[in-house]
Chain A
């Protein structure tokens, strides 16, 4: 039981390049989330999904797109990377029932030069 797995763990992009971050969970959770964490700051919600085929904007969605084609996977895309998107990205999931907690992956460290 791997929990929440994020790939890749590290990536360096040049300004204007695109990439996709993958989040996979094996707990059959309905809800999935993408956060970003900048140095010395808390996590900020980018996008989230309350079920397969659904997505919604969080607090800081600009510059990102997401897709949830399969229940176990939540993809985060950067179409044209900018230096301001240098951050650590965390994915989380939960089944949403009875205030069950969020389960986080170990993050993807992205640097945009």
Chain B
């Protein structure tokens, strides 16, 4: 069961790029890396998922080095509405989503 480590909190200002790094030293060969975003009083929402190298969508980019022992979620030009908790999860659907572990996440605060 891959355990992840993220910073507890980060601060940024509007318009800046934010990079949140997640460590997952014992990631397994079949594991994917998935990031979720959670606003207060809402359930987590899927942001991005990747296996290796770089993945980009309309919301974020995910950078994964060759050894896959860490990953970095990159949010370009953040706004106040990006203030949320971000969770990094590692696992694969074939062994069951029940083995995915939500840690405490990274609380991002974006200020004007």
Contacts and interface: CB of A to CB of B under 8 A. Distances in A.
Contacts of B34: 99, 101
A94 interface: yes
Contact of A102 (B46, B96, B101): B46
Interface range, A side: 20 to 34
A42 B87 contact: yes
Nearest to B34: A101
Interface residues of B, number: 22
Contacts of B92: 99
Contacts, number: 58
Interface of A: 4, 31, 33, 35, 40-45, 48, 50, 56, 58, 90, 92, 94, 96-107
Given A31-B97, A42-B104, 19 more contacts: A41-B104, A42-B102, A42-B105, A43-B102, A50-B96, A90-B43, A94-B97, A98-B93, A99-B34, A99-B93, A101-B36, A101-B46, A101-B49, A102-B44, A102-B46, A102-B100, A104-B42, A106-B43, A107-B41
Closest 5 CB pairs of A and B: A104-B43, A101-B46, A42-B102, A43-B102, A99-B32
Interface of B: 32, 34, 36, 41-46, 49, 87, 92-93, 96-98, 100-105
